[in-house]
Amino acid sequence: MINGISIDYFILLSAVLFTIGAIGVMARRNSIIIFMCIELMLNAVNILLVAFSTLHQNAEGQVFVFFVMTVAAAEVSVGLAILTMIYRNIKSIDTNLLSNLKD
């Protein structure tokens, strides 16, 4: 219980946000928005970590959130760099155009 709210609700909230992110990755075609959706997924996890951190009364979870943020930033910066190259080559960032590799 955190402030009278059961931990289950925190898990539920985070799961819902995570799912919204996952659906976004699946459904959107614009690569930038896909990155945003991945961010959403990672941040949903951050909420969960902070909630558990409060529940267990230790700071490890909150420290881990910083790691997650750093890694997410690294991922996105790499992603944006790749996107720039793609844009230079095909003048688009629509994921549907990126299906040359297939059987």
- Decide whether 4 or 38 has the Cβ nearer to other proteins: 38
- Decide whether 5 or 81 has the Cβ nearer to other proteins: 81
- Give CA–CA dist 76/15, Å, rounded: 22
| Burial of residue 13 (number of CB atoms within 10 Å: 0-12, 13-18, 19+) | middle
Q: Which residues bind other proteins (CB under 8 A)?
A: 7, 11, 14, 18, 21-22, 25-27, 29, 31, 34, 38, 41-42, 44-45, 48-49, 52-53, 55-56, 58, 60-61, 64, 67-68, 71, 74-75, 78-79, 81-83, 85-86, 89-90, 95-96, 98-103
- Give CA–CA dist 51/21, Å, rounded: 19
Residue 75 CB, shortest distance to other proteins, in Å, is: 5
